[in-house]
Amino acid sequence: MSREQLRRLTETAIAVALVAVLSNVKVYQLPQGGSITAGSMVPIFYIALRWGGPWGLLAGVLAGAVNFITDRFAVHPIQVLLDYPLAFGALGLAGFFRRSPTLGIVVGGAGRWLAHFISGVVFFASYAPKGVSPWVYSAVYNGSYMLPESRHQRRAHRPVVAQPAAARAGDPVRALIITQGPVRARRALRRLAAAADLLLAADGGTRIARTAGIVPHLIVGDLDSLDAATRRWAAARRIPRRTFSRAKEATDTELALREAKRRGAREVWIYGVVGGRLDQTLANILLLFAARRLRVPARLTDGRAAAWLVDGETEVHGRRDDTVSLVPLSPVVRGISTAGLRYPLRRGVLRRGSTRGISNEITTPPARVRIGAGDLLLIHIPA
């Protein structure tokens, strides 16, 4: 099980437990079921907006099942299904609207209300006052607690500005730097963001974060690439900025890399750094040496391919037929040995300018590459 999968399962379990606790902290209890609680829907919205719709649905269904165990209110199996797993599961629909969290929360809340509404019409029509349609009664009754309950969710999608990583020096901190390079894989970017502890946007990368529905912890750079819409979006979310003069001696991406180090990052992924301007692309590749000087392992990615320097030995966790290319950046790279690749090397030598290491393929994952001396760039491209 990967670190990301373990994190998702752990956070989902915690969210389900929080729903069970918060559901019992009731501000007001209605006579025929339903209550205004201390934000019991927030944990489900958090999972949905952080990990996506499927995980939100799973968390909601599990939370509904736990709620039924604690409530034990049942008149019919279909009523139980509507008022617990389906109602709470509907909150997970918010995860399908991650680019517009407010809309997602509205859709999730409306989905839960609809499940309770149908249950009320079918199973609790007898509670309607004389002369009042069961449809109207169920709509008003369930709306009377769902609307106030939903007010607690307004903060669910606001960014939680993490404690600076430097203050948690004992923890492994993974940082993600989002740059303004070409966007090829927003879904992959969201996965990277979900697995990161620290999110930094390098100037124009803020726009990329906004379009992907990602709220960074900090914006770094001279901010000359921020359009008006992105400035308003960042201001509305109160995202901190670290602003530099345009007459600076480093790119915004390098400044973000230094900031990641300052905040205690022990691993850095840099997204969107290839493609676009050739000079920027080459400079970003060479930033891997700056990361090495800072003693922070760094990888570049466009959301699909990834590149990093081989420091002694590395593993490539890909699949069979994935492409692996080895590019010597120093005049000579010696003692290159590989395993799990179609064209193996045994204490081989690659000289700068040689294309011998291009377009190898994984045969047995994970592939392994070890070097004796020199600077070797490894590029992994999924099949």
- d(Cα 208, Cα 270) in Å, to the nearest integer? 13
Domain span(s) for CATH 2.60.120.320 in the chain:
310-383
CATH number of 310-383: 2.60.120.320
Tokens of 141: 């009754």
162 vs 368, which has greater pLDDT? Answer: 368
SS3 202: strand
- Is residue 267 over pLDDT 60? yes
What is the enclosing helix (H) or strand (E) of 224? none
**CATH class of the domain whose range is 3-155:** mainly alpha
Sequence-distant (≥ 6) Cβ neighbours of residue 248 within 8 angstroms: 222, 255
Give residue-wise pLDDT tens across range 141-159. 888 878 777 665 554 444 4
pTM confidence score = 0.61
Give residue-wise pLDDT tens across range 214-251. 999 999 999 988 899 999 999 998 999 999 988 888 99
Domain span(s) for CATH 1.10.1760.20 in the chain:
3-155
Residue 4: band (very low, low, confident or very high) from pLDDT cuts 50, 70, 90: low
Nearest to 369 by CA among 311, 323, 320: 311
- d(Cα 168, Cα 294) in Å, to the nearest integer? 18
Q: Whole-angstrom distance between the N-terminal and C-terminal Cα of the chain?
A: 22
Sequence-distant (≥ 6) Cβ neighbours of residue 283 within 8 angstroms: 251
Model pLDDT, residue 156: 45
Model pLDDT, residue 104: 85
- In the chain, the percentage of residues whose pLDDT exceeds 70 is 90
Give residue-wise pLDDT tens across range 291-324. 999 999 999 998 889 999 999 999 999 999 999 9
Model pLDDT, residue 175: 94
CATH 3.40.50.10240 assigned to domain 159-303? The reply is yes
Domain span(s) for CATH 3.40.50.10240 in the chain:
159-303
